[in-house]
């Protein structure tokens, strides 16, 4: 048997181990990627207690716990047809990365509004909030601000969306605007305009660089050609100068030789003449021979001098020609360089004009096209509204006419019901109802007759009467004839197959006579002029 001294310590140990295991099981630790939400009786006015990191003891029966994930959620926002500041609808598809914040107040909001929801439900709530805030942001910005100043646009989106998402316990981690488009093509037009301006600037810079290069190359070529021409001219001048000196030296040497030879010959001939001149004939012959020889030598000397002068003139002419050629080449090089400069300046001016005028005209044309499209859309809407109004008016008129016709039909039906025993009485009643209109039409037959004055000379009686046994006056006959010219009501009713009431009188036979008599009696008191 177990001894009591052994059982008590063992029991204490078992109780202690049980309490320790219970405490360990109820102590909950929070991972770094989650938020531990302890709800139930947590003390104070709080509905839950949120813990990120560390652990807490969960009191059984009074408290329970759940986890909120801190993993980011990616939400694709397909925003289409958002109205911008200039009433242009844009499409701004974007991707938002959101997650539960670790701020104490924001964690409490998340525990109150997101605890127990699936990720799809959380994404749906966040998507609705983001869509509304993005439409609000886009409504405060123009297309240029949205497309060009992306940083400002993202700041506003973060500001508006983050503030609303914090209310449900979420924070914005990242916003990625994938693309911005519009249905009218305004953003594409802005991009094309910017591209055109960049291309024009590049063309202008290339043209300026080409012009600078062409000018530098032309200047170098011109300097080279001028230097080469100068060196060639200097070389030719040196060569011609040497040739001229050589020719002069040769001519001098030849002249000195000829002079010396002539002198020696003359002295020899003189000696021979002095020694051998025995007779006058010999002397004369020697003198003649001497003169001939002297003249020949002089002619040769003059010829040599002339040839030397001609060579010098040819050399001078060639030198002048070379100088003129060098000058011409230099001037041509200057002209070509100036032409290149003018061409470059012209291209630069054309590029500037194209940038300032053509691009502006293109932008103006695009603006006109956009305005024309807007005006056409407005006119189409106005025309559609007017057409709807006309259609509604015609429908209302048709309904009114239909109601009138239905009312008349009902009235005719009731009239026929009342006159069932005498059907002919219904037509008579309808004609009597229209008598004022018929009388008005009769009056219209003579209402436009212009009778300024009627003078009747009547003696009060006529000898022959009027052929019916009655004596009447001219005035009565005139009035009777004028009345008989009107369309007779009885005749109209007879042609329609209707018998008028006897109170309206009759035509033909005795009835006609009594009607005429009654007419005469009614006008009998008007005899006299």
Mean pLDDT lowest for which of 136-145, 173-182, 230-239, 485-494? 485-494
Asked whether the predicted pLDDT for residue 448 surpasses 70, the reply is: no
Its pTM stands at 0.36
Mean pLDDT of 148-166: 86
Rounded to an integer, what distance in angstroms lies between the CA atom of residue 70 and that of residue 64? 20
Burial class (CB in 10 A: 0-12, 13-18, 19+), 353: exposed
Give the per-residue pLDDT at 96. Answer: 92
In the DSSP assignment, the letter for residue 354 is I
Rounded to an integer, what distance in angstroms lies between the CA atom of residue 16 and that of residue 24? 12
Asked whether the predicted pLDDT for residue 238 surpasses 80, the reply is: yes
Question: What phi and psi, each to the nearest 5 degrees, are found at residue 169?
Answer: 95, 15
Mean pLDDT of 244-258: 81
Question: In this predicted model, which residue has the larger pLDDT, 243 or 22?
Answer: 243
Rounded to an integer, what distance in angstroms lies between the CA atom of residue 489 and that of residue 57? 115
Mean pLDDT of 461-487: 53
Question: What phi and psi, each to the nearest 5 degrees, are found at residue 336?
Answer: -65, -45
Mean pLDDT of 201-229: 81
Give the per-residue pLDDT at 505. Answer: 57
Each residue's pLDDT tens digit, 388-406: 888 888 888 888 888 888 8
Asked whether the predicted pLDDT for residue 30 surpasses 70, the reply is: yes
Percent over 90 (pLDDT), the chain: 3
Give the per-residue pLDDT at 521. Answer: 41
Asked if residue 204 lies in contact with residue 352, where contact means CB atoms within 8 angstroms, the answer is: yes
Asked whether the predicted pLDDT for residue 424 surpasses 70, the reply is: no
Give the per-residue pLDDT at 482. Answer: 54
Asked whether the predicted pLDDT for residue 115 surpasses 80, the reply is: yes
Asked whether the predicted pLDDT for residue 282 surpasses 80, the reply is: no
CB atoms under 10 Å from CB of 62, counted, come to: 9
């Amino acid at each position: 048997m177990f001894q009591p001294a052994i059982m008590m310590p063992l029991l204490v140990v078992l109780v202690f181990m049980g309490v320790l295991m219970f405490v360990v099981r109820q102590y909950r630790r929070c991972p770094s990627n989650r938020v531990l939400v302890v709800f139930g009786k947590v003390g104070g006015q709080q509905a839950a207690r949120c813990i990120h990191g560390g652990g807490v003891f969960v009191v059984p029966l009074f408290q329970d716990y759940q986890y909120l994930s801190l993993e980011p959620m990616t939400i694709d926002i397909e925003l289409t047809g958002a109205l911008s500041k200039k009433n242009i609808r844009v499409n701004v598809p974007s991707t938002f990365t959101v997650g539960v914040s670790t701020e104490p107040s924001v964690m409490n909001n998340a525990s109150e509004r997101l605890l127990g929801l699936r990720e799809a439900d959380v994404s749906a709530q966040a998507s609705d909030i983001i869509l509304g805030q993005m439409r609000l942001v886009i409504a405060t910005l123009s297309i240029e601000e949205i497309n060009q100043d992306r940083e400002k646009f993202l700041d506003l989106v973060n500001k508006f969306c983050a503030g609303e998402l914090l209310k449900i316990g979420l924070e914005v981690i990242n916003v990625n605007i994938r693309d911005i488009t519009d249905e009218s093509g305004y953003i594409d037009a802005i991009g094309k305009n910017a591209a055109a301006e960049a291309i024009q600037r590049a063309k202008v810079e290339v043209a300026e660089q080409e012009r600078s290069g062409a000018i530098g190359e032309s200047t170098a070529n011109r300097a080279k050609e001028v230097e080469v021409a100068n060196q060639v001219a200097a070389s030719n001048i040196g060569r011609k100068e040497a040739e001229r000196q050589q020719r002069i030296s040769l001519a001098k040497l030849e002249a000195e030789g000829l002079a010396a030879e002539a002198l020696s010959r003359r002295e020899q001939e003189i000696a021979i003449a002095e020694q051998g001149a025995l007779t006058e004939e010999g002397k004369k012959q020697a003198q003649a021979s001497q003169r001939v020889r002297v003249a020949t030598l002089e002619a040769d000397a003059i010829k040599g001098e002339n040839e030397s002068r001609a060579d010098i003139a040819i050399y001078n002419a060639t030198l002048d020609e070379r100088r003129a050629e060098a000058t011409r080449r230099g001037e041509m090089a200057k002209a070509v360089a100036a032409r290149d400069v003018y061409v470059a300046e012209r291209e630069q001016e054309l590029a500037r004009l194209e940038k300032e005028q053509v691009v502006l005209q293109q932008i103006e044309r695009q603006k006109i096209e956009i305005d024309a499209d807007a005006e056409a859309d407005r006119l189409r809407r106005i025309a559609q509204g007017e057409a709807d109004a006309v259609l509604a008016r015609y429908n209302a008129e048709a309904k009114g006419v239909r109601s009138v016709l239905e009312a008349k039909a009902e009235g005719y039906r009731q009239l026929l019901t009342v006159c069932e025993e005498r059907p002919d009485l219904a037509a008579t009643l309808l004609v009597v109802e229209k008598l004022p209109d018929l009388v008005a039409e009769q009056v219209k037959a003579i209402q436009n007759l212009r009778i300024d004055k009627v003078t009747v000379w009547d003696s009060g009686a006529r000898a022959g009467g009027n052929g019916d046994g009655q004596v009447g006056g001219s005035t009565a006959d005139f009035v009777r004839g004028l009345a008989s010219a009107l369309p007779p009501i009885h005749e109209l009713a007879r042609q329609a197959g209707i018998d008028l009431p006897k109170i309206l009188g009759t035509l033909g036979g005795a009835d006609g006579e009594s009607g005429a008599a009654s007419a005469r009696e009614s006008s009998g008191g008007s005899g006299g002029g």
